[in-house]
Amino acid sequence: MSTTSTMICTRCNKASGDVDKCSTCGTRLSTLKSQQRRGWTALGAGAFLVVFMSAVWIWVDRLLIGGDYQRDATTASFTGKINVAFALVVVAGVFGVINGRLMVQSGRRNRVLLFGLVIAFVSALFVACSASNMYHGS
């Protein structure tokens, strides 16, 4: 099976039979290989995010549980929010890994996954911000 000549339109997000430019939207086509390379990059970045954030998450949890912070209701609530923020970032990383894996296979991005990734990441930032505001504001 020869896949070297397969071209992908990144705008229409589909394989194209055209050689240079997409006949539908006029965008310059990418080769399947270059899209697959991007897929590996996305997969690596997602995997790094999952591993790195999980490590920081465990570290922060140990730090918070280790002290006598839990008696403070504000800090307990802060810890809860931080846990949610970390979980959302890990979820975003997992979406990135799945999206990268699909891109390596087909050369196409999965818009639903990318949408989920962005939503999870923005929610994580939002939760982290509200947690830190709450903590410093008291």
Can you spell out the DSSP letters for 14-27?
EEES-SSB-TTT-P
Identified binder of Zn ion from the candidate list 3, 13, 24, 138, rule CB under 5 A: 24
SS3 7: strand
Q: Quick check: 120 binds Zn ion (CB under 5 A)?
A: no
- Listed ranges 26-34, 53-61, 65-73, 89-97: which one lies at the site for Zn ion (CB under 5 A): 26-34
Stretch that binds Zn ion, among 2-10, 42-50, 103-111, 122-130 (CB under 5 A): 2-10
Burial class from Cβ neighbours inside 10 Å (0-12, 13-18, 19+) for residue 39 reads buried
CB 20 to Zn ion: min, Å:
12
User: Of residues 7, 8, 22, 131, which one binds Zn ion by CB under 5 A?
Assistant: 22
Q: Under a CB-based contact definition with an 8 Å cutoff, are residues 31 and 8 in contact?
A: yes
Whole-number Å distance between alpha carbons of 39 and 47 = 12
Shortest distance (Å) from residue 42 CB to Zn ion: 20
Binding interface with Zn ion (CB under 5 A): 9, 11-12, 22, 24-25, 27
